[in-house]
Structure 1
Amino acid sequence: MRNIFTFGHRPAQRNWTVADLRANKGKVQLTEVTVSSREQAARAAAAGIDTLMTRSQYLKEVRDGAPTTFVTAALMLVDHPTEKDVLEGAMRAMDEGADALYTSRSLDTIKMLADLDFPVMGHVGLVPPYSTWIGGLRAYGTNADEAMKLVERFRAMEAAGAFAVEVELVPQEVLEAINEQTSLITFSIGSGSGGDVTFLFSEDICGETKNPPRHAYAYGNVLQLQEQMERERIQALTAFHAAVRDGSFPYRNVTVSMKPNELESFQARLGEAAPLGAQSVG
């Protein structure tokens, strides 16, 4: 565990720093998962996941759930439409304890953030918001021309000052070859084991997704449990409704009763009292 100061000038501890990630390049294969809540972050930390990715608006919760885990805050396009929004969002995220920033925007955006000495991660290969430019959601770099374009993109990101890059749906052989030459820390999602960090979505890993992408793998079946819980809830509510209708509920063991002598006393005194609702005549 490393002692650090956050960009918000607060003392903290981290399992990994940028320097550690760089020193580990080509050595131990690390893990990254997406999280969006305190609970998800805490589970990932308890499982020993090395690094976390979250949208910037969830950062406070995620940091509470995983106070010592390396976290990258994603500055998503729809949340930060202008360069000014990006800069403000980056400042806010770093103040809230982000260790790095992710953006799928232009090289100019990467350079703007890197010039502030913020650790910045870019994105190559399939970049889903821009998938229309490559003909849809598909692997990228499967031919030599595209693979060389990836090499050029890596070089451009290095020049812009990025420290890392998410590599999505790129052939493993291509990533392996590039990773041997680039200084960038490579986060592979659907690109095989040729990168430095293997990345998947928490929901896909836990089996919460009905139609997961081809590159995902479920190590659990939370969706089945969730569906079972939903059935159990409906069955329980239906049974309650039916029991009330047929007069069997409330059951004796969940109903409060008086002691016999107290009941007799109450009934006698009630018989002597004026009826409820009776109006006194003045």
Structure 2
Amino acid sequence: MRNIFTFGHRAAQRNWTVADLRANKGKQQLTEVTAMNGEQAARAAAAGIDTIITRVQRMKEVRDAAPNTFVTAALMLVDHPTESDVLEGAMRAMDQGADALYTTRSLDTIKMLADLDLPVMGHVGLVPPYSTWIGGLRAYGATADEALKLADRFRAMEKAGAFAVEVELVPQQVLEEINKQTSLVTFSIGSGSGGDVTFLFSEDICGETENPPRHAYAYGDVRRLQEQVEHERIAALTAFQAAVRDGSFPYKDVSVSMKPHELEAFRDKLGKSVRLGTERKGY
């Protein structure tokens, strides 16, 4: 663990720092997963996952659940439409303990954040929000011309001040070649093992996604368990409904009862009070 001060001037410890990630480039393969809530973040930390990525809006919850894990806060396009929104979101996320920022916006946005000495991650290859420009959701860089354009994009991001880049659906051989020449820490999703960090969505890893993408791999079958739990819930509610209807519930062992002598005394006193009330009414 490294002792650090966060952007918000709070003492903390981290499993990795930006300097560590850079120094590890080309060496040990690291991992990154998504965490959209505290539960996912806590599981990732317990599993020893190296880095987590979450949305800015979830940053505090994720940081609280995984206090020592390197966390990147994503500045999603729809949440931060203007440069001023980006800056406000970035400052809030860093104050809440983010170690880095992620954006799919322009090189100018990356430069704006990097000029403030904030660690910024860009995105190359298939960038889903911009998939219309390359003809839809597909691999990018499978031709020599596209691979050269990717190499140019890497250099432009370096020049803008990014420290890392997410590389999505790029041929492994292309990433391997570019990774030898770039200073950027590369986070591979669907781009093979040619990067420095291998990234997958937590839901895909755990087997919770109904139609996972081709590059995903399920190491668990949580969806099956979730379906079993849902079936059990409905079955339990149905049984309760039937038991009440046929008069068998509430059962004796879940109901409260009086001792026989107390019940007899209660009935006697209740009868007297009813008679007394009737007499008073008649008066």
TM-score normalised according to structure 1 size: 0.98
CA spacing shift, 1:216–1:276, aligned 2, 3 Å: farther
Q: Deviations over 1:44-98 (max 9, x none)?
A: 0000000000000000000000001000000000000000100111111111110
Q: Please name the residue that 1:280 is paired with.
A: 281
SS at match of 2:73: strand
Is residue 241 from structure 1 mapped to residue 241 from structure 2 by the alignment?
A: yes
| Shift of residue 277, structure 1, vs aligned partner | 9.2
Letter in 1 for 2:162: A
SS at match of 1:118: coil
SS at match of 1:274: helix
Q: Deviations over 1:195-247 (max 9, x none)?
A: 00000000000001000000000000111111111110000000000000000
Structure-1 separation of matches of 2:159 and 2:277: 87
Structure-1 separation of matches of 2:281 and 2:94: 74
Q: Deviations over 1:9-47 (max 9, x none)?
A: 111100000000000000000000000111111110000
| Shift of residue 156, structure 1, vs aligned partner | 0.2
Superposed structure 1 runs of 4+ greater than 2 Å apart:
275-282
SS at match of 2:3: strand
Counting only pairs closer than 5 Å after superposition, residues 163-178 of structure 1 correspond to structure 2 as 163-178=163-178
Superposition RMSD in Å: 1.3
Identity of counterpart residues, as a percentage?
A: 82
| Shift of residue 276, structure 1, vs aligned partner | 11
Q: Please name the residue that 1:43 is paired with.
A: 43
Letter in 2 for 1:185: V
CA spacing shift, 1:275–1:230, aligned 2, 3 Å: farther
Structure-2 separation of matches of 1:277 and 1:254: 35
Structure-1 separation of matches of 2:261 and 2:235: 41
Counting only pairs closer than 5 Å after superposition, residues 97-136 of structure 1 correspond to structure 2 as 97-136=97-136
| Shift of residue 280, structure 1, vs aligned partner | 3.1
Is residue 73 from structure 1 mapped to residue 65 from structure 2 by the alignment?
A: no
Is residue 7 from structure 1 mapped to residue 7 from structure 2 by the alignment?
A: yes
Structure-2 separation of matches of 1:280 and 1:272: 14
TM-score normalised according to structure 2 size: 0.98
Structure-1 separation of matches of 2:108 and 2:269: 87
SS at match of 1:198: strand
Letter in 1 for 2:93: A
CA spacing shift, 1:210–1:280, aligned 2, 3 Å: same
Q: Deviations over 1:87-122 (max 9, x none)?
A: 111111111110000000000000000000000000
SS at match of 1:166: strand
| Shift of residue 267, structure 1, vs aligned partner | 1.3
Counting only pairs closer than 5 Å after superposition, residues 199-210 of structure 1 correspond to structure 2 as 199-210=199-210
| Shift of residue 281, structure 1, vs aligned partner | 5.2
Q: Deviations over 1:231-265 (max 9, x none)?
A: 10000000000000000000111111101111111
Q: Which runs of 5+ in 2 are unaligned?
A: none
Structure-2 separation of matches of 1:11 and 1:222: 37
Q: Deviations over 1:115-169 (max 9, x none)?
A: 0000000000000000000000000001101000000000000000000000000
Is residue 151 from structure 1 mapped to residue 165 from structure 2 by the alignment?
A: no
CA spacing shift, 1:262–1:192, aligned 2, 3 Å: same
| Shift of residue 272, structure 1, vs aligned partner | 1.6
SS at match of 2:174: helix
Letter in 2 for 1:194: G
Q: Which runs of 5+ in 1 are unaligned?
A: none
Structure-1 separation of matches of 2:159 and 2:282: 97
Q: Please name the residue that 2:263 is paired with.
A: 263
CA spacing shift, 1:105–1:277, aligned 2, 3 Å: farther
SS at match of 1:73: strand
Structure-2 separation of matches of 1:145 and 1:276: 102
